[in-house]
Amino acid sequence: MSYGYNGNILHVNLSTKETLVEHPEEGFYRKYCGGRALALYYMLKEMKPNTNAFSPENLLIFATSVIVGTRAPAINRYTVCAKSPLTGAQGESEAGGFWGPELKMAGFDAIIIRGCSEKPVYLWIKDGQVEIKDASKLWGKDTGEAQSLIRQELDDSRIRVALIGKGGENLVRFANIVNELSHFNGRNGLGAVMGSKKLKAIAVRGNNKINVVDPEKIKEVTRAYAKRVMENPLSKGLRDNGTIGFISGGNQEGWLPTRNWTQAGFEKDEHYNIKTFNKKYLKKVESCYACPIACKRVVEVDDGKIRVDRMYGGPEYETAVTFGSLCGVDDLTYICKASELCARYTLDSISTGVTIAFAMHCFEKGIISQEDTDGLELKFGNKEEMLTLLEKIANREGFGNLLAEGSQRAAQKIGKDAEKLLRVGKKQEIPMHDVRVKTGLGLQYALADYGADHMKAAHDPFFANKDSWGTKEMGGIGIYEPVSPTDIGEKKVILFKKLDIYWSLFDILGICYFGWVPRGIGSLEELLDIINSITGWRTSWYELMQVAERSINMARIFNLREGFTDKNDTMPEVFYENLKGGKLDNTGAIDKEDFEKAIKTRYGLMGWDEKSIPTKGKLIDLGLDWLIEEVERIE
Ligand code: SF4
C-alpha cells in the first residue's frame, strides 16, 4: 500500500484523445516527490530541445505531491510546468486553492498533457475516471461563467475547476491558469500553453481519502498549529490584512516601486491605507484547502461607474502595486477592477501591470505617441486608459496585440531605446520587490530558471539579525547566522543557496510559504513530523533537500538545452543605480561587479562550472547520471 500518494499518473493525448495511467514505483516518488521535480523529469525525458511552446509536443504538466490532500495545515499547492511561451525557458508556477487536493482525492498525483485538440475541450476527472468533453460553448467565456457552466453541466456544485479565460485562449504570452476564480498559476504564460492545446479547463472531483501512516500525529501537529494562528504576528497580520497590508510599510521605508521604477516611494501613501481598504472594499477573507490562516481577500465595488464582482477574490500585494504606484494610479477602485479583469481573462497581474507601466513610460518619454496606442493618452496615473489597455491586451486588439507579446518583445518592435525602460529577468516582468534593499532576492531574480520571481526564496529581512524569525528557527538546515539585507558577499550567497533549495522543496511538496518557517508559524520539526506521518518514509532534511537540489539541476539543464547560458542570469540595470525619491533617496545602488561575482560564487556552491553547467560529479551525486550525456552534448 502507498501512503500519501496514489501511485497514478495520468497521461492525456489531446491530438489522439487517448488516455493512459502510469504507475511508477515508490522509488520514483521518493526521488522526485512531485511538483517541479516530477514535471522536469518528464520534460527532460520526453521533450526534444527547442520545442515550440505552442506546439503539440510541448508537455503541459499538472503535478501535486506525496503530501498534498491531507488536513495538515497550509499544504495544498500544486505545480503547472511546460516550456514557457514568455521566456522560452522552463515554465513553472504553483497555486494554492482547492484544485490540487481534489485531484489527489480523485485518484491522481499528476497529469501529463500532450498534443493539441482540434476543437475546444475540457477534461473531466472523477474518482479515477477520465473524460475529454466538448468545450465549444465555453470557449470565449470569462472564467466565472465558464466555471458555472461546467458545474451545471456536470450537476455538481463542488467540482473544482482549473481553467483559462480569453487571455489564455488568445495566447497572450503571460496568460495564467486559475482555480476557484482567485488562485493563480501565474507568471510565465502557462495559460497560453493551455490555450494552444484548445484545453479550456480541467474539472476534478474526488471522494477518496488519502492514506496516511500516522493520522493521530498529523491531528496533534495541526491542532497545535491552529492554536498559534491568532497569537503569532506573522499569521495574524496575514489574516487581518492580507499581503496588501505590507504596501504602506514598504512605501514608508522608501522603496515602493513607482512609475516604472523611476521613483522609490509613492507620494499618495494614504491611498494604500489598510484600514481604509478594509473598511471600504473588503467583504470577507477566504482560505485555501485546510489552512487556518485565511489570508485571501474578497472585495466588492459598485460605485455606479465601476463594478467589481466579489466572486473573483481581491488584489494581493503584487497586483495592488503594479496597477497602483507602478502605473502612478492612486485609486483603489481601479486597482480592484484591474485585479478582477485579470482573473476573468486569466492574465498574470504582475506582467500585465509592468507591461502597461513600461508602455506608459515609453509614452511619457515620447518613444511612442497616441498614433501608436490607438489614441490612448498613456500618461502615468491615467487609470481609465490603464483598464482599456488591459482589455486590449486580453483581446489582442490594436496596441494591446503588441503588448500581449510581453514587454521585451514589444520593446524590440518599438525600438528607439524602449529596451532601456524594460524591467525584466529572462524576458519575464519583475515583481514588486526592490532588490536594492534585499540583495539575496536579487540573486534569485537573476538565477531563477523560470524568470524573475519573488517566490523563488524567502526574503532577506527574515535573516537580518540574530532575533529574526528565520535565523532563530532554521538551524535544522544550517541557517543560524544573520546577514544584513543589503550584504552581497559570500555569507549572503551561502544563505540564499540554502534558501533556494529549501524553497524549491516547498514548490515540490505543495507547501505554502506563508504557513511554515521562515515566513510562517509552522516549525521545521513539525514539518518533518508531518511529512513522515503521511508517508512513513522516516525521511530527513538531507534527503528532502537533495530532492529539491535535483530539481534545480534539472531546470538548469532544461534551460541549457534551450540555449540559455550564464549570460542570461542577470537583473535589470535599474538596480545598479541609486534609489530615487523617498526616504532612501540617492542610496542603494548594487555594485555590478560584486553582484556578478556573487553569481559565480553561487555556481561554485551548486557544483556548477563557470558557465553554470552542472559538473558530472554533481549529477552523479544527485542520482541524475541519466542526464550526463545530455550535458555533454550541451558542452
Ligand atoms: S496562508 Fe494564505 S495562501 Fe497560504 S494556504 Fe493559507 S490561505 Fe492559502
The pLDDT-based confidence of 635 (bands split at 50, 70, 90) is confident
Residue 96 CA to residue 111 CA, distance in Å, equals 17
C-alpha 343 to ligand 1 mean position (Å): 18
515 lines ligand 1 (CB under 6 A): yes
Confidence tier at 596 by pLDDT (50, 70, 90)? very high
Question: Which atom of ligand 1 is the closest one to the Cα of 289?
Answer: 5
Pick from 225, 236, 295, 297 the residue to mutate for probing ligand 1's pocket: most ligand atoms within 8 Å of its CB. Answer: 295
Give the torsion sign (CA, 116, 560, 510, 287). negative
Residue 209's pLDDT is what? Answer: 94
CA distance 206 to 104: 7
pLDDT per position as a tens digit, 412-442: 999 989 999 999 999 999 999 999 999 999 9
| pLDDT confidence of residue 502 | 97
CA distance 301 to 182: 16
**DSSP state, 511?**
B
Confidence of residue 510 (pLDDT cuts 50, 70, 90): very high
287 close to ligand 1 (CB < 6 Angstrom): yes
pLDDT-based confidence at 234, cuts 50/70/90? confident
Measured in Å, residue 62 CA sits from the centre of ligand 1 at: 20
115-134 tens-digit pLDDT = 999 999 999 999 999 999 99
Residue 295 near ligand 1, beta carbon < 6 Å: yes
**pLDDT value at 201 more than 90:** yes
Cβ of 291 less than 6 Å from ligand 1: yes
- Taking the model in full, what pTM does it have? 0.98
Residue 242 alpha carbon to ligand 1 centre in Å: 10
The number of the ligand 1 atom at minimal distance from the alpha carbon of 97 is 8
248-264 average pLDDT score: 95
Give the nearest ligand 1 atom to 292 CA: 6
Alpha carbon dihedral 283, 285, 286, 290, in 10-degree steps, equals -160
Q: Judge if the beta carbon of residue 293 lies within 6 A of ligand 1.
A: yes
**Cα–Cα–Cα angle for 442, 444, 449, nearest 5°?**
135
Summarize the confidence of residues 592-597 as an average pLDDT: 98
CA of 248 to the centre of ligand 1 (A): 21
Assess whether the C-beta atom of 11 lies below 6 angstroms from ligand 1: no
CA distances from 412 to 399, 406, 417, 427 (A): 14, 10, 9, 11
- Check residue 632 and give its pLDDT: 95
Alpha-carbon distances, residue 420 vs 197, 243, 314, 521 (angstroms): 35, 30, 33, 42
Q: Which atom of ligand 1 is nearest to the CA of 235?
A: 1
Averaged confidence pLDDT in the chain: 97
Q: Which amino acid is at 568?
A: N
pLDDT in tens, 43-57: 999 999 999 999 999
Smallest CA separation from ligand 1 atom 8, residue: 288
Quote the percentage of the chain above a pLDDT of 70.
100
The predicted model gives 542-561 an average pLDDT of: 98
Distance (angstroms) between ligand 1 centre and the Cα of 199 equals 27
Per-residue CA distances from 461 to 157, 435, 570 (Å): 43, 11, 22
Average of per-residue pLDDT across 181-198: 97
Interval 590-604 mean pLDDT: 98
Q: Is 512 in the pocket of ligand 1 (CB under 6 A)?
A: yes
Question: Distance between CA atoms of 248 and 256, rounded to whole angstroms?
Answer: 8
Q: Is the pLDDT of residue 269 over 90?
A: no
Mutate to test the pocket of ligand 1, among 71, 75, 246, 296 (most ligand atoms within 8 A of CB): 296
In this predicted model, what pLDDT tens digit does every residue of 346-401 receive, in sequence order? 999 999 999 999 999 999 999 999 999 999 999 999 999 999 999 999 999 999 99
